[in-house]
Chain A
Amino acid sequence: NAGVTQTPKFQVLKTGQSMTLQCAQDMNHNSMYWYRQDPGMGLRLIYYSASEGTTDKGEVPNGYNVSRLNKREFSLRLESAAPSQTSVYFCASSEYRESPLHFGNGTRLTVT
């Protein structure tokens, strides 16, 4: 049982490049989330998907897009990367809104 799997683990981009962060869960969870973690800022919610077919903005959605491809997969896309998007990105899932969050191991992204 892998839980929440994120790819890639590390990525370096140049300003203006695009990329997609992948996330998949094998726990049949309904809700999925993308967070970013920055030193001194805690984790901040970028986007979430309450259930398959729905997505909503979190606290810091600007510069990002998401796709809930199916119940298992939730991807995060950076269309034109900026240095301010240098961060560690975490995907999480939960069975229901009131259930515990399960996190992946993160993607460390550097934008130069």
Chain B
Amino acid sequence: KQEVTQIPAALSVPEGENLVLNCSFTDSAIYNLQWFRQDPGKGLTSLLLIQSSQREQTSGRLNASLDKSSGRSTLYIAASQPGDSATYLCAVQTSGTYKYIFGTGTRLKVLA
């Protein structure tokens, strides 16, 4: 059974710092992996999608990498800003299905 873990559960950093959020999964037979952002009381916004054949994806200050063999993905945020404060979730899509398994998220606070 696929399990997705995100460590740490919470993180506080000063503005301007580069940071890495971690996501690990137990079954490497995945179709793709997505990173999401969730603001309090809101839905999830898709940040980056990495297909199983890809190693990384970039969007602005965000870079996500995928290492299927080790069951790991990282989300790198460059030059963090207070507006980046949110909960970041990763989700993996099991091969051959429509089902995504979500991690419980990392709550990020960027201090001004």
Contact = CB atoms under 8 A, between A and B. Distances in A.
B interface secondary structure, majority: strand
B32 A98 contact: yes
Contact of B44 (A31, A50, A101): A101
B103 A106 contact: no
A34 interface: no
Interface in A73-112: 90, 92, 97-106
Contact of A45 (B51, B100, B103, B104): B100
B35 to A, nearest CB: 10
A100 B99 contact: no
A104 B44 CA distance: 8
B102 A43 contact: yes
Interface of A: 4, 31, 33, 40-45, 48, 50, 56, 58-59, 90, 92, 97-106
Interface size bucket, B side? 20 to 34
A56 B89 CA distance: 24
22 contacts: A33-B98, A42-B103, A42-B104, A42-B105, A43-B89, A44-B102, A48-B98, A90-B43, A90-B44, A98-B32, A100-B34, A100-B46, A100-B49, A101-B46, A101-B91, A101-B100, A102-B46, A103-B36, A103-B45, A104-B43, A105-B42, A106-B43
A105 B42 CA distance: 5
Contacts of A58: 99
Contacts of A97: 31, 93, 98
B98 A103 contact: no
Contacts of B41: 105-106
